[in-house]
């Protein structure tokens, strides 16, 4: 963020060897080397021209993952699947290899409290090692099943006791990862529909700690489209009666979501915006199907039926088709830049201002995308004025 002092921005990815993470790493390297333009990035637009955001070359990647595949190898696989251009992967291969030692296995410990501390330590080591001004932790790991209710979810003392008891697993991994960010004083974003900070006690915990945090579940394809289209019907006074959707995808995320438990949190998250925008009467069946041969391309069909003037019918079908990780990665980079700005400008708590990036925006009730985009630009321009002139 500040070229003069040499202090960069750290991007600590939970799930750092996955498809979204690898695409992010390739992207950071390609942008730094000017091998690609900043297409697909919100923060590269004119609207952010005066806002001091981290230069791509000043972003260092680290993270945790349960897997061990080297980034360069994963990138090759994505290239073989047609997702990333082979020449580009070859050109950034050395950068990927340079990131690799920053990606550590998820540490284990006798208690979950111990796990949180070990993870936080990894983050702080990373910060120190690269002399970083800020670290932004972003969870891009596999979607988890939602946990069954426990009384600890509403009572911090109870929770801390369980966290400190050896052998007790009270929180899911995503929440442990989020608390590690809290403990390390890092900004945090949850790009998945997993539990994360989304429990009353954890929400309060992060708020008290004063970090800026953002979520939840990246709004990339079909859901983005829906929060663009639904306000159109509302503005024109039409009543949407049904909005049916089917998603087809292969790839890593596709096979995770083939699990009916894991898919539940995703489906809930995907439909939240629709109901917020159109009311709860809208009939909205939604499916995610695992179709291996489609690879990393997500194809989504939506069928919308609305009542128009004098009871007439208005029908809209959409088919969206894109490499899912190619939509997600630039948002991860946007979030790294924006949350780093938030931290530099003293923002804290749930960051409704970045709600345009999420299916289920924390700290905001706004789902309409155009309105969210406006809110973001206004926020960025406003907080930027708090920084000393010449930054970065």
Ligand X SMILES: NC(=O)c1ccc[n+]([C@@H]2O[C@H](COP(=O)([O-])OP(=O)(O)OC[C@H]3O[C@@H](n4cnc5c(N)ncnc54)[C@H](O)[C@@H]3O)[C@@H](O)[C@H]2O)c1
Please give the residue ranges that form the binding site for ligand X (CB under 6 A): 14-15, 17-20, 64-67, 106, 140-143, 173, 191-192, 217-218, 220, 252-253, 256, 324-325, 327-328
**What's the rounded Cα separation, in Å, for the pair 109 and 117?**
9
For ligand X, give the closer residue by CB, 205 or 357. Answer: 357
Instruction: Tell me, rounded to whole angstroms, the distance of Cα 125 from its chain centroid.
Output: 23
- Please state at what angle helix 86-99 crosses helix 71-80, rounded to 10 degrees: 160
Q: How far is the CB of 266 from a second copy (least distance, A)?
A: 16
Nearest to 287 by CA among 276, 298, 296, 278: 298
User: Other C-beta atoms within 10 Å of 236: how many?
Assistant: 11
Q: Which does 301 bind (CB under 5 to 8 A by kind): ligand X, Na ion, a second copy, none?
A: a second copy
Of residues 348-387, those binding a second copy (CB under 8 A): 356, 368-371, 373
**What's the rounded Cα separation, in Å, for the pair 256 and 277?**
28
Q: Which does 26 bind (CB under 5 to 8 A by kind): a second copy, ligand X, Na ion, none?
A: a second copy
Three-state DSSP string of 71-123: HHHHHHHHHHCCCCCHHHHHHHHHHHHHHHHHEEECCCCCCHHHHHHHHHHHH
Q: How far is the CB of 351 from Na ion (least distance, A)?
A: 11
Of residues 225-244, those binding a second copy (CB under 8 A): 225, 228-229, 231-232, 234-239, 241-242, 244
Q: How far is the CB of 363 from Na ion (least distance, A)?
A: 7
Q: Which does 164 bind (CB under 5 to 8 A by kind): ligand X, a second copy, Na ion, none?
A: none
| 8 Å CB contact between 1 and 51 | no
According to CB under 8 A, which one of 11, 25, 30, 187 is a site residue for a second copy?
30
Structure tokens at 343: 């931290």
Residue nearest to Na ion (CB): 361
Q: Which does 192 bind (CB under 5 to 8 A by kind): Na ion, ligand X, a second copy, none?
A: ligand X
Interface stretch with a second copy, choices 23-31, 133-141, 157-165, 339-347 (CB under 8 A): 23-31
């Amino acid at each position: 963020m500040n070229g003069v002092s040499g202090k960069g921005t750290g991007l600590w990815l939970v799930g750092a060897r996955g498809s979204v993470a690898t695409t992010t790493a390739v992207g950071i390297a390609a942008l730094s080397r000017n091998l690609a333009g900043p297409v697909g990035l919100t923060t590269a637009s004119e609207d952010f021209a005066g806002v001091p955001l981290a230069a791509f070359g000043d972003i260092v990647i680290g993270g945790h993952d349960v897997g061990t595949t080297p980034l360069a190898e994963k990138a090759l696989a994505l290239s073989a699947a047609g997702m990333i251009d082979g020449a580009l992967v070859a050109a950034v291969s050395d950068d990927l290899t340079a990131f690799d030692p920053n990606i550590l296995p998820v540490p284990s410990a006798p208690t979950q409290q111990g796990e949180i501390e070990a993870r936080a330590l990894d983050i702080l080591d990373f910060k120190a090692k690269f002399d970083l001004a800020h670290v932004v932790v972003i969870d891009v790991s596999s979607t988890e099943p939602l946990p069954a209710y426990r009384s600890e979810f509403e009572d911090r003392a109870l929770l801390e006791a369980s966290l400190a008891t050896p052998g007790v697993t009270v929180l899911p991994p995503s929440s442990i990862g989020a608390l590690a960010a809290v403990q390390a004083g890092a900004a945090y974003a949850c790009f998945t529909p997993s539990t994360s900070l989304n429990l009353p006690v954890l929400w309060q915990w992060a708020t008290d700690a004063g970090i800026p945090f953002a979520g939840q579940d990246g709004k990339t394809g079909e859901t983005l489209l829906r929060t663009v289209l639904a306000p159109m019907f509302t503005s024109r006074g039409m009543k949407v009666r049904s909005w049916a959707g089917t998603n087809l995808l292969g790839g890593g995320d596709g096979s995770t979501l083939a699990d009916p438990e894991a898919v539940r949190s995703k489906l809930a998250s995907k439909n939240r915006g629709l109901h917020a925008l159109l009311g709860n009467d809208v009939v909205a069946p939604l499916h995610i199907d695992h179709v291996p041969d489609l690879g990393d391309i997500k194809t989504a069909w939506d069928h919308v039926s609305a009542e128009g003037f004098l009871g007439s019918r208005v029908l809209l079908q959409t088919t969206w088709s894109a490499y899912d990780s190619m939509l997600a990665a630039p948002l991860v980079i946007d979030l790294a830049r924006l949350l780093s700005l938030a931290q530099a400008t003293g923002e804290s708590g749930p960051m409704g201002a970045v709600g345009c990036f999420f299916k289920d925006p924390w700290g905001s009730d706004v789902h309409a995308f155009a309105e969210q985009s406006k809110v973001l630009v206004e926020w960025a321009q406003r907080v930027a004025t708090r920084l000393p002139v010449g930054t970065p």
